[in-house]
Structure 1
Amino acid sequence: MSVLKRYAAAAGMTDEAWKRHANPWSVWTRFAAIPLMILAVWSRAWVGWWCLAGVALVVVWLVANPHVFPAVERPESWAAKGIYGEKLWLYDRSLVDGDHRRVQRLLVAVGVTGFALLVWGLVALQVWPTVFGATLVVLGQLWRIDRLGQLYERHRAAG
């Protein structure tokens, strides 16, 4: 079992959880958690170890998020199609052709680079790597969701 599948299982990503996670509110509030996490970590400069309370709140939200919104049975929104595509990609890699795999690898590289810059910026309390890293993470994830939505559409059209 791949690392991602193990993570999904540990996070309680059942079929029902995937349907709930496909709710656009789930997708967009996860994106909204990014600046909140940055603020929580950055706040260590002002509140010291109390910053961990903010970090903990964001982590609790990210764990609960895929389970709290109403389920999407028929994905029609961009976000819902992307999450349904993510589930397809995670559990049946045979549906992903070579071009899509190359783009996914590129997007993972963009995300990892962005995350590294983000961590560097937060450790050093430097604005430019923090903002640039967060921007790369968000743009990479948005592009990834878009590509996974296309995967879902192709799979649905194929029947």
Structure 2
Amino acid sequence: MTFAAWSERLMSMSDEVWARHANPWSGWSRLTILPLLALSLWSRVWLGWGALLPLALTLAWVWLNPRVFPPPRDRSSWMTRGVLGERIWLDRAAHPLPPRLVAACHALTVLSALGALAMAWGLIRLDAFWTVAGMAVAMLAKLVLVRLMVVMHDRITGVRRNTS
């Protein structure tokens, strides 16, 4: 089982949940997760064990986010197409994807993971530079990955849009 399949199962991502997650508000509000995670972990300095509360709230937000918004009224939004592209990516065995696109998605996933590791290092050492730099790399790589998911969605569905 791949990490993506494992995380999809952990998040209980049913067809209904994916439909809700395709709402652009869901996609854009997920950008709050890494900053909230960093802040909740850093808060151990001020809150001690009380930092488990903001951490639990952040983890609850991770799970609730794809569920709290209604399905989008239409599927033309950039973020909606990105989420729908992610669904295609997760089921890529059923879709012929250009090898360069697949390689770029893998490279961006690795870059995002490296950013997350740098962020984790910063959080362990309470080093603001590594925390913020790692978060920035992870988030920027993820946004470029969403851009590739939009390209993937548009190619597979035959949609022709100006995505610049």
If the length of structure 1 is used for normalisation, what is the TM-score? 0.93
Q: 8 Å contact 1:88–1:95 — kept in the other structure?
A: no
Superposition pairs of residues 117-136 of structure 1, within 5 angstroms: 117-136=118-137
Pair 1:152 & 2:153 matched = yes
- The number of equivalent residue pairs is 158
Instruction: From the superposition, tell whether residues 116 and 104 of structure 1 become closer, same or farther in structure 2 (CA, over 3 Å).
Output: same
Q: Report what 2:100 is aligned to.
A: 99
| In 2, Cα distance between equivalents of 1:4 and 1:110 | 16
Q: What do residues 10-50 of structure 1 show as CA deviations (whole Å, max 9, x unaligned)? A: 31211111111111111111111221111111011111111
How far is 1:68 from its partner?
1.1
Q: Distance in 2 between matches of 1:131 and 1:56?
A: 21
Give the structure 1 partner of residue 27 of structure 2: 27
- Please give the alpha-carbon distance, in whole angstroms, between the structure 1 residues aligned to 2:62 and 2:25: 13
User: What is the deviation of 1:73?
Assistant: 5.9
Q: Which moved more, 1:26-35 or 1:120-129?
A: 26-35
Distance 2:110 2:68 in 1: 30
SS of the residue corresponding to residue 118 of structure 2 reads helix
Partner of 1:70: 70
2:3 is aligned to 3
Task: Report the Cα distance in structure 1 between the residues aligned to 2:32 and 2:139, rounded to whole angstroms.
Answer: 10
Which amino acid is 1:39 matched to?
L
Q: Which moved more, 1:33-42 or 1:111-120?
A: 33-42
Query: Compared with structure 1, are the counterparts of its residues 106 and 92 closer, same or farther at alpha carbon in structure 2 (3 Å cutoff)?
Result: closer
Extract unaligned runs of 5+ from structure 1: none
Deviating runs (4+, > 4 A) in structure 1? none
SS of the residue corresponding to residue 70 of structure 1 reads coil
Query: Over residues 85-125 of structure 1, what are the superposed CA-to-partner deviations in whole Å (9 max), with x where a residue is unaligned?
Result: 00011013333220011101110121111011000000000
Residue by residue over 1:99-155, the C-alpha shift from the partner in whole angstroms, topping out at 9 and shown as x without a partner, is: 011101110121111011000000000011101000011101100011001100011
Q: Which runs of 5+ in 2 are unaligned?
A: 160-164
RMSD: 1.4
TM-score by length of 2: 0.91
AA matched with 2:154: E
